[in-house]
Structure 1
Amino acid sequence: MEMVPDTSNLDPIVLELGQLFADAGYELSLVGGPVRDLYLGRISPDLDFTTNATPDEILSVGKKWADSHWEMGRAFGTIGFRKRNHNLDVLLIEVTTYRAEAYDPESRKPEVAFGASLEDDLQRRDFSVNAMALRLPSLELVDPYGGAVDLAAGLLRTPGTPQQSFSDDPLRMMRAARFASQLGFDVHPDVRAAMTDMAERISIISAERVRDELVKLICGAHPRAGIDILVETGLAELVLPEVPALQLETDEHHRHKDVYQHSLQVLEQAAQLESGPDGPVPGPDFVLRFAALMHDVGKPKTRRFEPGGAVSFRHHDLAGAKLTAKRMKALRFDNDSIKAVSRLVELHMRFYGYGEAGWSDSAVRRYVTDAGPLLERLHLLTRSDVTTRNQRKADRLSFAYDDLEARIASLAEREELDSIRPDLDGQAIMAMLNLSPGPVVGRAYKYMLEQRMEQGPLDAAAAEAALRQWWSQQPESVPAPEAGEDAAVQEY
């Protein structure tokens, strides 16, 4: 089936800028992802252009036209502009001089050389579906590498040989997996073979660039496909080794499920449970999805074959949380993301005690408090972790979690579960016990928090009585002199 780009979706600003460059005597073409998305009926948030103008000439043409500009990419031939369109939406525009770039085998930074033509520029791009351009303002399609045909086939190929493409920029191997996730495309066998042969080349790419591609992959519409490609080509061994390690050897009696396939299914199910923009966990949510992928990475380290023939993975949740945090640090994730994902991994088994024995109100409060702002994500992760084919077991776990959520809602109506605090704060504790700030106040606060967890909210009198009872048993407690007793005698 032949596909054609739907240029009716183009913002008039695109043609306006094209005419501006033509009037100045320069070529300008819309290129790459925005052109691909016209075929797919999508609107790109950013607009990428290429031109025969130099960076200085680009700036000269666009500076007065744009609302603002930036030059951070000047060394790579790129000048950026911001421009409000007729709907007052802010468009981000990047205009880049025709170029070719390649990596030195030992360098993480590309060597940039400006190219002579649009066709030369398109040849250096990652995949044929991104190597199409629309000349402006004529809207002539330039597609020398069959990108439209590949789009129709849902196939990722490189404009030149994949070996040359991946040698020029090894990150393109990660992009292949990312586009498979985002677009649902297959990777051409030649491209897949080159990725497998050249996987080691990814080691010259900075952790930050690898991280950014991984985030886009995880947040794609088909993350399972993207992860599978990373694992099958050997790239995951280098960028996310905990995931291929989930492919545990199955013992001859098949006494445990395929942990790798289970994890991919949990990832898929978690993505399906995400809410719309106004829901509790708007999708795509990287924290939830990555926790779903990594939730069992502690199993290879903790697997034990028990004397009776069973297989156990004791404390794999704790081991997995540590492995997840270590990997995310290596990939230069921010601290908040690291803490959130590893905490979800740590907590993902907590519910199963409820399903087996039921919980007191105290245990429910602890569950909510330990999850904190991650509670809604923990709900979805726990529900996603059910992949059994035994429908009765699946229904039983689902009903149990329904009951737990109902318990949480019921307690929340009576108590402020999302911000549990002791009935007495530090100031009140110091005033009642005549203490100065210090570790004793911290111990008292912790005790009162335990009371709040165990008994729920206490009135003022009960809270003070509990505190004084605790204080009477502490070594720092000194009995007050009895009425009429001489203080000096008491001291003696």
Structure 2
Amino acid sequence: MPDNFNEHLQTNPIFSLVSAAGNELGVPVYVVGGYVRDLILQRGSKDIDFVCVGSGVDLAKKVSKELGEDANLSVFKNFGTAAIHHQGFEYEFVGARKESYREDSRNPIVEDGTLEDDQNRRDFTINAMAISLNKDSYGELLDPFDGKEDLRNMIMRTPLEPGITFSDDPLRMLRAIRFATQLHFDIEPDTFQGIVDHVDRISIISQERITDELNKIILADKPSYGFQLLFHSGLLKLIFPEMVDLHGVEKINGMGHKDNFYHTLQVLDNICEMTDSLWLRWAAILHDIAKPATQRFNEKVGWTFHGHEDLGAKWVPRIFKRMKLPLDERMKYVQKLVKLHLRPIALVNDRVTDSAVRRMLFEAGEDVQDLMTLCKADVTSKNPERVKKYHGNFKKVEKKIKEVEERDHVMNFHPPISGEQIIEVFDIKPSRVIGDIKNEIKDAILDGRIKNDEKEAFNLMLKLGQKHGLKANEKFISTSKDK
């Protein structure tokens, strides 16, 4: 990759337009940060950051005027920045600045500065490069910290002493791990030690920003790498203690269990090969989260974790709330998959009953395929024959699921008999017996004792009402004979 990007700058008219605007305003202008990094890595980007030695807001206003009516300008006066959305691109403008920090805050004291000041305050060398848009040096790469060399060597490194960089803005510790995970880079030893030395500073960062970085790690191609960096740095203990509790193996009488931390990371990597869904990946992270709390040793069978799926499901809302993750249908989806993740595994044998499949379909609903994906990812045995056997049995279960659903339509189960019908037929007030009858009808359908249709359900309702001491209105009894 050359040190002059004049040719590339001709691919988008925004660069010459910003250059001309800067020249007219008498302010030096540069392309900076992630766009320059991604350009050298030959990764496409539609987010372009410009810095000028002057007012970024004034520069943005002038550029927006030149772009015309379809340019959407947003000005953030409190931060001295502005952004333009134009034809699918996001352009951000800021004046060069230098920053200083108080010990108890990550909010900087900001002053106008030079390009050098602005590059010094950047988080990593690979994000501290700039390309000049000025007439006398148009297209030249300005790389005071050898960021281009660090890109070549696939290294994350801070431009200044790591302690300064991370103490000034502790979120950079998570960003270092996130970038390393996304780009498959190593973190330079002194930089990583700087993270270890300053982990406690993460406490002044808002949970929303922490979770945003964590989600970006989870969405990487191989998030296990990021989680191992989080673990070994000490950050994971502070931001996700339940996951750290999974780590370790206990032995009694020579019998141990697998390390559930590394098992979870393997499940996460496995599922990432099958889906881009953030919430299915969260289900993989949380599927065994309650194992430490349910761990018991039995002299006959060894280690057990009975009920970890139910307890884990109960923990999901608490974890989501603390992490500032959405407490809506996405949380309920993760909770459902955690609760049911053992269900298909229990069906992995040659004698899968229709009743068991119906019950799983009823509880999983439209998420049954995602549940099966999670279960496949949960197979982490290093024995290839065992893995082959499990996956073969999963295919049998999937075939059975298809057959049962096509016949019984359980996935979107709606009771053939409503509570209102029961009230009307037996002329009773709302009471517990109504729920009991509905549940018994549901169980009869799921067990295959009656078909999932109104006629059989209605006749069973009459019998159940009689069992509960209820008397049906004569007109409904005669109606049932006609059904």
Is TM > 0.5 for Structure 1 vs Structure 2?
A: yes
The AA in structure 2 aligned to 1:290 is W
1:322 equivalent among 314, 324, 337: 314
Partner residue, 2:305: 313
| Unmatched runs of 5 consecutive residues or more in structure 1 | 85-89, 275-282, 483-492
For 1:58 and 1:305, locate their aligned partners in 2 and report how far apart those are by CA, in whole Å.
Answer: 68
SS in 2 for 1:296: coil
Q: Does the CA contact (< 8 Å) of 2:155 and 2:187 recur in 1?
A: yes
For 1:470 and 1:104, locate their aligned partners in 2 and report how far apart those are by CA, in whole Å.
Answer: 72
For 1:8 and 1:2, locate their aligned partners in 2 and report how far apart those are by CA, in whole Å.
Answer: 13
Partner residue, 2:98: 100
Q: Does the CA contact (< 8 Å) of 1:245 and 1:300 recur in 2?
A: yes
SS in 2 for 1:179: helix
Query: Within 5 A, what are the aligned runs for 1:19-30?
Result: 19-30=20-31
How many residues are paired up? 465
For 2:325 and 2:122, locate their aligned partners in 1 and report how far apart those are by CA, in whole Å.
Answer: 28
1:140 and 2:133 matched: no
1:416 and 2:417 matched: no
SS in 1 for 2:45: coil
- Shift of residue 436, structure 1, vs aligned partner: 6.6
Query: Within 5 A, what are the aligned runs for 1:349-364?
Result: 349-356=342-349, 358-364=351-357
Deviation per residue, 1:370-408 (Å, 9 max, x gap) = 223432221111001111122332222111211111111
Partner residue, 1:277: none
1:472 equivalent among 466, 471, 474: 466
The AA in structure 1 aligned to 2:128 is A
Partner residue, 1:69: 73
Deviation per residue, 1:197-235 (Å, 9 max, x gap) = 111110111100000000001101221111110000100
- Shift of residue 181, structure 1, vs aligned partner: 1.2
Q: Does the CA contact (< 8 Å) of 1:423 and 1:463 recur in 2?
A: yes
- Shift of residue 479, structure 1, vs aligned partner: 5.6
Report the more deviating stretch, 255-264 or 50-59. Answer: 50-59
Partner residue, 1:390: 383
Residues 65 and 379 of structure 1: CA distance in aligned 2, closer, same or farther (over 3 Å):
farther
1:402 equivalent among 395, 420, 435: 395
Deviation per residue, 1:410-441 (Å, 9 max, x gap) = 22323434311122345555554456767655
The AA in structure 1 aligned to 2:456 is A
Partner residue, 1:58: 59
The AA in structure 2 aligned to 1:120 is D
2:86 equivalent among 77, 83, 103: 83
Partner residue, 1:257: 258
Q: Does the CA contact (< 8 Å) of 2:4 and 2:139 recur in 1?
A: no
The AA in structure 1 aligned to 2:221 is A
Residues 438 and 2 of structure 1: CA distance in aligned 2, closer, same or farther (over 3 Å):
farther
Deviation per residue, 1:252-305 (Å, 9 max, x gap) = 73522222221111111111122xxxxxxxx2x211222222322212222212
Partner residue, 2:169: 169
1:127 and 2:131 matched: no
Q: Does the CA contact (< 8 Å) of 2:426 and 2:473 recur in 1?
A: no
Deviation per residue, 1:439-492 (Å, 9 max, x gap) = 6555444443333322374444322211211222235x246589xxxxxxxxxx
- Shift of residue 324, structure 1, vs aligned partner: 3.9
Partner residue, 2:479: none
For 1:19 and 1:429, locate their aligned partners in 2 and report how far apart those are by CA, in whole Å.
Answer: 78
For 1:260 and 1:160, locate their aligned partners in 2 and report how far apart those are by CA, in whole Å.
Answer: 34
Report the more deviating stretch, 195-204 or 308-317. Answer: 308-317
Q: Does the CA contact (< 8 Å) of 1:102 and 1:167 recur in 2?
A: no
Query: Within 5 A, what are the aligned runs for 1:138-287?
Result: 138-251=138-251, 253=254, 255-274=256-275, 283=276, 285-287=277-279
For 2:377 and 2:474, locate their aligned partners in 1 and report how far apart those are by CA, in whole Å.
Answer: 62
Partner residue, 1:37: 38
SS in 2 for 1:401: helix
Residues 365 and 2 of structure 1: CA distance in aligned 2, closer, same or farther (over 3 Å):
farther
Q: Does the CA contact (< 8 Å) of 2:61 and 2:73 recur in 1?
A: no
Identity, % of aligned pairs? 32
Partner residue, 1:113: 110
- Shift of residue 56, structure 1, vs aligned partner: 4.4
The AA in structure 2 aligned to 1:313 is F
- Shift of residue 24, structure 1, vs aligned partner: 2.7
Q: Does the CA contact (< 8 Å) of 2:426 and 2:472 recur in 1?
A: no
Residues 414 and 128 of structure 1: CA distance in aligned 2, closer, same or farther (over 3 Å):
same
SS in 2 for 1:94: strand
For 1:59 and 1:136, locate their aligned partners in 2 and report how far apart those are by CA, in whole Å.
Answer: 15
SS in 1 for 2:460: helix
For 1:381 and 1:97, locate their aligned partners in 2 and report how far apart those are by CA, in whole Å.
Answer: 48
- Shift of residue 241, structure 1, vs aligned partner: 1.2
1:296 and 2:296 matched: no
TM-score by length of 1: 0.87
For 1:2 and 1:262, locate their aligned partners in 2 and report how far apart those are by CA, in whole Å.
Answer: 44
- Shift of residue 132, structure 1, vs aligned partner: 0.8
SS in 2 for 1:419: coil
The AA in structure 1 aligned to 2:346 is G
SS in 1 for 2:256: coil
- Shift of residue 62, structure 1, vs aligned partner: 3.5
- Shift of residue 97, structure 1, vs aligned partner: 1.6
Residues 458 and 368 of structure 1: CA distance in aligned 2, closer, same or farther (over 3 Å):
closer
For 1:439 and 1:201, locate their aligned partners in 2 and report how far apart those are by CA, in whole Å.
Answer: 54
| Unmatched runs of 5 consecutive residues or more in structure 2 | 476-483
The AA in structure 2 aligned to 1:154 is M
For 1:248 and 1:9, locate their aligned partners in 2 and report how far apart those are by CA, in whole Å.
Answer: 55
SS in 1 for 2:459: helix
Q: Does the CA contact (< 8 Å) of 1:100 and 1:114 recur in 2?
A: yes
Q: Does the CA contact (< 8 Å) of 1:264 and 1:293 recur in 2?
A: yes
